[in-house]
């Protein structure tokens, strides 16, 4: 089977061929597979299933934290520090809830730090957060099956959605800055419990050591058995501390393997993904129902306050789940 | 109808009585109604429906922003600045995604600022974010029907979930701090588009004016017709700027009434709530399915990698939506 003149692969089993090409380092084909996986429908399901069979080898590192903490710079430099031949970055861009547009500022800033060998893919958080909970593991699996390693998933924000995406990595790095808040705030955002490694970035600021001390105190209080999240001070814009950070990631990777935690984590994630996928599908059904004639009629009655939102929801649910014949 | 010895109300139509007592200022009864609304099931549906009929008068103000920006202090002081006889605060506490526990630090800090007349209720973000999307409007409506005004909904975080909760208010106040990040970051979090008023808190910090300038620039770029979000500088710990902030909230309230925007916003929110309620109910069905014998069998096969998460989800969906007889 050989590429035709336009560079497209022709095959009786084109998906096998596409994965084969991606594994061989064809970035365009890898991008195509990711696009197929994102688009949904039957082709996405086939890509997902094929990737599932080929994945499981890559180290998956999540980098998360509040906006403005310097995650993108750290992510770019980590890729260089890893010294791997086929690193990948999956950047989850928040998009506006109103316009759906992704903002590219960080990508532009990041590119100057990233070695040209890295495969970079941005995903916008379009539509429902639930969509991302399915799209991210799918994309990670495609990258994994294509031989990328390590895969760094960068997410912005400290909301629960972001926390759950970060938790989908094998190793989760949580970035804070001295100005970002005290340890109580880090705890409030649920970060203490998903962090395998803390980074205090912008460590050249005066209160960096105070931030480290606060985090240490919180870690003393909420100790998890077997692994205590180390705290690495970095000044990412200067490249300081990035080598230490990568060393801690490697130490955590070894811990995951040695302790059996890697198997347990991945098992838990797969279970969560089943529920996420069922939910996403039901949500699509809801969207269709809302846009149906019946749905629009119910919403019109809600507009005129003839029907409460709760009563309208009950009407629609009765339609989605008709009583089964005995 | 009179209270019995234990202070409980007895009535043939107890819900009417409870709302009547809550309107009369009985805080214990108001708390009971809110608990009923939170617990779900048939009683919650009845409380929700009754509250729906009695609500619509209160000013609902959302206060949101990243952790550590001083929202709780501002919220407490706003209540005092409003000078209303029956203010209420609905504080959405983030809870850990793993333990489900709410952290009370802010409540303790806030209470010292809040006048004793305010009714304060905390809601934890337990379980799915979708639950909150229904629980918050329900709680606001109960407070509203009980005669509370203004109702200040304080949410922590800058994720999409928090943004959508903030968007459920009539007037949304977004709090940033000079150290929190530049205007690009505020925009990335989707805050620019939901903010009716910006607060730069901790305005005694050196770069407060820089933060204001960045926000002004962003507002210049993304102008929304009719209302330009004012930027108020506060030092909430000293009470500075809180009077200005309340004045801007009143100005926005007048704008909402005069422009017809209030009716449009509430109409849009009711429509969103219908979809949220349908989704929440379907999610419950998914949870039940996952915990059923069939669900557990499918998950076991996923554990042993005999089935991909996607294939397991398809199995469960087929069970939830059995093919309809012709």
Q: Which DSSP string corresponds to B208-241?
A: HHHHHHHHHHHHHHTPPTT----EEE-BGGGTBT
Q: Over the stretch A87-120, which tens digit does the pLDDT of each residue have?
A: 999 988 654 333 233 334 344 444 445 556 789 9
The residue among B145, B159, B263 with the most chain A CBs within 10 A of its CB, best to mutate, is B159
Q: What value does the mean pLDDT take over residues B133-157?
A: 90
Q: What value does the mean pLDDT take over residues B174-202?
A: 74
Of B160, B179, B180, the CB nearest to A129: B160
The secondary structure element, H or E, covering residue A37 is: helix A27-39
Are B129 and A271 an interchain contact pair (Cβ–Cβ within 8 Å)? no
Return the closest-CA partner of residue B322 out of B293, B285, B297: B285
Go through chain A and tell me how many residues it has.
Answer: 326
With beta carbons less than 8 A apart as the criterion, state whether A123 and A273 touch.
no
Chain B residues closer than 8 Å to A162 by CB: 159
- Whether the ipTM is more than 0.90: the answer is no
CATH topology of domain B55-261: Rossmann fold (3.40.50)
Q: Over the stretch A138-178, which tens digit does the pLDDT of each residue have?
A: 999 999 999 999 999 988 655 555 666 666 799 999 888 88
Residue A104: phi and psi, rounded to 5, are -100, 5
Pull the structure tokens for residue B195.
Answer: 């903010």
d(CA B83, CA B243): 11
Q: How far is A309 from chain B (nearest CA, A)?
A: 5
d(CA B162, CA B156): 7
Q: How far is B188 from chain A (nearest CA, A)?
A: 6
Chain A residues closer than 8 Å to B125 by CB: 160
Are A158 and B281 an interchain contact pair (Cβ–Cβ within 8 Å)? no
With beta carbons less than 8 A apart as the criterion, state whether A290 and A283 touch.
no
pLDDT for res A317: 87
ω into residue B182 within 30 of 0, thus cis? no
pLDDT for res A109: 43
Are B189 and A157 an interchain contact pair (Cβ–Cβ within 8 Å)? yes
Quick one: closest CA in B to A96, which residue?
B190
Mean model confidence pLDDT for chain B: 81
A35-44, A56-65, B106-115: range with highest mean pLDDT: A56-65
d(CA A34, CA A37): 5
What is the band of B126 on the pLDDT scale with cuts at 50, 70, 90? Answer: low
d(CA A146, CA A84): 14
Chain A residues closer than 8 Å to B105 by CB: 184, 188
Percent of chain B's residues with pLDDT above 90? 40
DSSP one-letter code for A25:
T
Quick one: closest CA in A to B179, which residue?
A179
Residues within 8 A of B (CB atoms), A 105-164 only: 105-106, 125, 129, 137, 156-164
**Is B317 an 8 Å CB contact of chain A?**
yes
**Is B77 an 8 Å CB contact of chain A?**
no
Chain A residues closer than 8 Å to B299 by CB: 271, 274
Are B316 and A278 an interchain contact pair (Cβ–Cβ within 8 Å)? yes
Chain A residues closer than 8 Å to B180 by CB: 66-68, 179-180
Interior angle at CA B207, CA B201 and CA B212, nearest 5: 60
* pLDDT over threshold 70, residue B163: no
Of B160, B273, B290, the CB nearest to A97: B160
How many CA atoms, within 13 angstroms, populate the side-chain half-sphere of residue A150? Answer: 25
Q: How far is B123 from chain A (nearest CA, A)?
A: 14
Are A298 and B68 an interchain contact pair (Cβ–Cβ within 8 Å)? no
DSSP labels for A223-278? PPTT----EEE-BGGGTBTHHHHHHHHHHHHHHHHHHSHHHHHHHHHHHHHHHHHH
pLDDT for res B125: 58
ω into residue A150 within 30 of 0, thus cis? yes
Q: How far is B1 from chain A (nearest CA, A)?
A: 29
The secondary structure element, H or E, covering residue B153 is: strand B151-155
Lowest average pLDDT, out of A230-244, B79-93, B117-131, goes to B117-131
Are A311 and B94 an interchain contact pair (Cβ–Cβ within 8 Å)? no
Chain A residues closer than 8 Å to B182 by CB: 68
Q: Over the stretch B247-267, which tens digit does the pLDDT of each residue have?
A: 999 999 999 999 999 999 999
3-state secondary structure A130-179: HHHHHHHHHHHHHHHHCCCECEEEEECECCHHHHHHHCCCCEEEEEECHH
Return the closest-CA partner of residue B143 out of B303, B27, B314: B27
With beta carbons less than 8 A apart as the criterion, state whether B37 and B44 touch.
yes
Residues within 8 A of B (CB atoms), A 57-76 only: 66-68
Number of Cβ within 10 Å of residue B32's Cβ equals: 17
With beta carbons less than 8 A apart as the criterion, state whether B60 and B137 touch.
no
Chain B residues closer than 8 Å to A179 by CB: 177, 179-180
| Location of structure tokens 């100790």 | A223
Lowest average pLDDT, out of A165-169, A257-261, A313-317, goes to A165-169
Are A267 and B303 an interchain contact pair (Cβ–Cβ within 8 Å)? yes
Pull the structure tokens for residue A156.
Answer: 């912005």
CATH number of the domain at A56-258, please?
A: 3.40.50.300
pLDDT for res B166: 64
* Domain definitions of chain B by residue range: 1-54, 55-261, 275-320
Residue A198: phi and psi, rounded to 5, are -100, 140
Quick one: closest CA in A to B46, which residue?
A310
Strand partners, B149: B86
Q: How far is A6 from chain B (nearest CA, A)?
A: 33
Burial letters B276-314, b for 16+ CB under 10 A, else e: bbbbbbbbeebbebbeeeebeebbeebeeeebbbbbbbb
Of A67, A97, A303, the CB nearest to B267: A303
**Is A266 an 8 Å CB contact of chain B?**
no
């Amino acid at each position: 089977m050989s590429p035709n003149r336009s560079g497209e692969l022709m095959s009786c089993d084109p998906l096998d061929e596409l994965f084969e090409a991606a594994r061989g380092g064809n970035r365009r084909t890898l991008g195509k597979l990711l696009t197929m996986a994102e688009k949904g429908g039957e082709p996405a399901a086939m890509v997902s299933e094929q990737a599932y069979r080929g994945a499981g080898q890559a180290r998956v590192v999540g980098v998360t934290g509040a906006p403005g903490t310097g995650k993108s710079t750290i992510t770019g430099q980590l890729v260089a520090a890893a010294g791997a031949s086929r690193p990948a970055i999956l950047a989850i861009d928040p998009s506006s809830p109103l316009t759906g547009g992704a903002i590219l500022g960080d990508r532009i800033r990041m590119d100057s730090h990233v070695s040209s060998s890295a495969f970079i893919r941005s995903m916008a958080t379009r539509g429902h957060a639930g969509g991302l909970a399915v799209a991210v593991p799918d994309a990670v699996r495609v990258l994994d099956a294509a031989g990328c390693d390590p895969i760094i998933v960068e997410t912005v924000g400290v909301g629960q959605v972001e926390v759950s995406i970060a938790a989908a990595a094998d190793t989760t790095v949580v970035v804070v800055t001295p100005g970002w808040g005290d340890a109580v705030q880090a705890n409030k955002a649920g970060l203490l419990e998903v962090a395998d490694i803390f980074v205090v970035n912008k460590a050249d600021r005066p209160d960096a050591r105070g931030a480290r001390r606060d985090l240490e105190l919180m870690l003393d209080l909420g100790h998890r058995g077997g692994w205590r999240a180390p705290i690495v001070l970095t000044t990412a814009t200067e490249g300081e501390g990035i080598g230490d950070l990568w060393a801690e990631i490697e130490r955590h990777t070894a811990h995951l393997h040695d302790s059996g935690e890697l198997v347990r984590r991945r098992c838990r994630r797969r279970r969560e993904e089943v529920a996420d996928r069922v939910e996403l599908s039901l949500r699509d059904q809801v969207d269709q129902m809302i846009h149906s004639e019946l749905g629009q009629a119910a919403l019109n009655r809600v507009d005129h306050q003839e029907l409460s939102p709760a009563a309208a929801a009950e009407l629609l649910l009765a339609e989605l789940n008709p009583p089964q014949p005995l």
